[in-house]
Every structure is written in C-alpha cells, then in structure tokens.
Amino acid sequence: MDIATLIGMILVAALLAGSVIVGGGSFAAFWDLPSVLVVCGGCFASVLISFPLKRLLAAPMVVKKCLLNKGEDVPALISQLVSLAETARRDGLLALESRLEEIDNDFIKLGVQMAVDGSQPEVIEDVMRSAIDSLSARHADGKAVVDQAGRFAPAFGMIGTLMGLIMMLGNMSDPSGIGAGMAVALITTLYGAIISNGVFLPFAEKLGFLHKQELRSMEIAMRGIMAIQSGENPRVVEQKLKTFLAPKQRAGEGQAA
C-alpha cells in the first residue's frame, strides 16, 4: 500500500468534510444525483470516446498501481547486480545460468540470459532498450487516460452548472426558489473540481513519478548487465551504478559496508 496516496486521499476527504461541519452546513445540501450523473457519466463517456475500450478496461490496473505500488529499492538492485558481477568475474558468464532462478526482476533476467547465451553487447543493449521503450509507451497510454479524465471532469461540472442555470432561469415564476436552484446548479462545478483535483490529476502525477522511478531502475539494470557482460571488475561496476544514488545514500551504503 502506498501510504502517501492513502493519507492524501483521507486528508482531502477530511478537510472537505471538516469545512462543511465547521461552516455549519449539511452534508445533504452537497448531494445531488443529477449532478453526479452529469459529471461522472459525462466524464466516463468522453474518456470512452477518446480511447479504445481495451485501454479503458486496463484502467483499474492503473489505479491499483497508484494505491499498491512498492517503491523501487535501488540499493538492493545495485547489490544484486554487483553480486552477479562477482559471480561472473570469478566463475565466468556461464555460471550466471545457475543464478537465474533467484532473480525476481524479469528485466534483469532477460539481460543475464542473453549474456549467458553469448549475445553480442550491441544486441543485448538493443533488446533491453526496446523493452524500456515498450514500457514507456504502455505507461504513457495509462497515464493519458487518467490525465484526460482529470481534464474532462471540471468541464462537465461547468456544463452541469450551465444546465442548472438554464433550467432555473427558464422557471422564474417562484423567486423564492432561485437561491436553492442556484445552489444545486453550482454543485456540479464543485463535483468536477473535487474529482479532478482530488483524484484524477494527483493520480496522473503519481503515475508519472512512478514511471520515472521504474525507468531509472531499468537504466541501472541495463548498465549493470552491460558491465557484467564486458567482464568489468565488480568494484568498478558498483561505483558506476552508485552514481545513480543520491550522495547521502552513497555515503550510507559505504558506511554499512
């Protein structure tokens, strides 16, 4: 579970609810089913128009990634690559085949397998770069769906407000109902703003951040595999890969060692 995402969502809900309570308002005044249908239904329909159905069916996995992602443990990744480099240096590249089962990272396993099979360095790099590019394309598609939903929600909130105002102004026979009608009309704008800025846009930003983290890990893995394949000294491999860490992390790793 991503604690930051969970805390953020709870905090948004708590602040909104607290504002209503402190302001002496009623939660019932902020509920309007037609407004929910306009904002949520309209947003979903527009996203459905914008993307293929297959892409939308994958949206729950995108949301799951935001809520249940695990942070990349870069120091552990570097340690594993250095350990593989030590094995290759001591016993040869073919000795890495016996360690394939202990590698959980499919990307690293791909590179090690190609190195063991005797593939040329440029071929290994080309295949691994292609895997990185493919991942980037998939992540971009998933983020685009959430980004678009974040843009459509406020627009449909405004559309709902305009619809409410038109219906209110079209029935001015009872001036006492203008205030209530105006309040209901504005609720859709509120819904659109909350859904966009409290859910979709933050999720899109989190996906972008996670994507950068994963790309960094893949870049580290690829450089480590290339160094192992070329037979570099494990200590040199370690120093190369540690350049991806922040200075404090590098110092901490050195002290721990």
| Residue 73 DSSP symbol | -
Which residue's structure tokens are 């016993």?
91
- pLDDT of 1: 62
- pLDDT of 235: 92
Tell me the average pLDDT across 84-102.
91
- pLDDT of 24: 79
Could you give the CA distance from residue 244 to residue 176 in angstroms, rounded to a whole number? 66
CA max distance for the chain: 91
pLDDT band at 256 (very low <50, low <70, confident <90, very high): very low
Q: Is residue 6 a part of any domain in this protein?
A: no
pLDDT band at 192 (very low <50, low <70, confident <90, very high): very high
Q: Is residue 124 a part of any domain in this protein?
A: yes
- Say what percent of the chain tops pLDDT 90: 56
- pLDDT of 236: 92
Q: Find out whether 74 and 244 touch, Cβ atoms under 8 Å.
A: yes
In the chain, the N- to C-terminal Cα span, in Å, equals 30
Tell me the average pLDDT across 103-131.
93
Give, in order, the Cα–Cα distances in Å from 8 to each of 58, 138, 165, 210: 24, 26, 34, 16
pLDDT above 70 for 33: yes
Q: Which residues contact 71 (CB under 8 A, 6 or more apart)?
A: 213
Q: Is residue 229 a part of any domain in this protein?
A: yes
- pLDDT of 255: 41
Q: What are phi and psi of 77, to 5 degrees?
A: -65, -45
H-helix segments, 53-120: 53-57, 59-68, 74-91, 106-116
Tell me the average pLDDT across 107-132.
93
Q: Is residue 240 a part of any domain in this protein?
A: yes
Rg (CA), the chain: 26
Give, in order, the Cα–Cα distances in Å from 150 to each of 56, 133, 154: 15, 26, 7
pLDDT above 60 for 244: yes
Tell me the average pLDDT across 117-129.
93
How many domains is the chain partitioned into structurally? 1
pLDDT band at 30 (very low <50, low <70, confident <90, very high): confident
- Tokens encoding 229: 């394949």
Q: Is residue 144 a part of any domain in this protein?
A: yes
Q: Is residue 64 a part of any domain in this protein?
A: no
Q: Find out whether 136 and 208 touch, Cβ atoms under 8 Å.
A: no
- pLDDT of 176: 67
Tell me the average pLDDT across 78-93.
92
Q: Is residue 16 a part of any domain in this protein?
A: no
Domain range enclosing 212: 32-59+72-256
Q: Is residue 87 a part of any domain in this protein?
A: yes
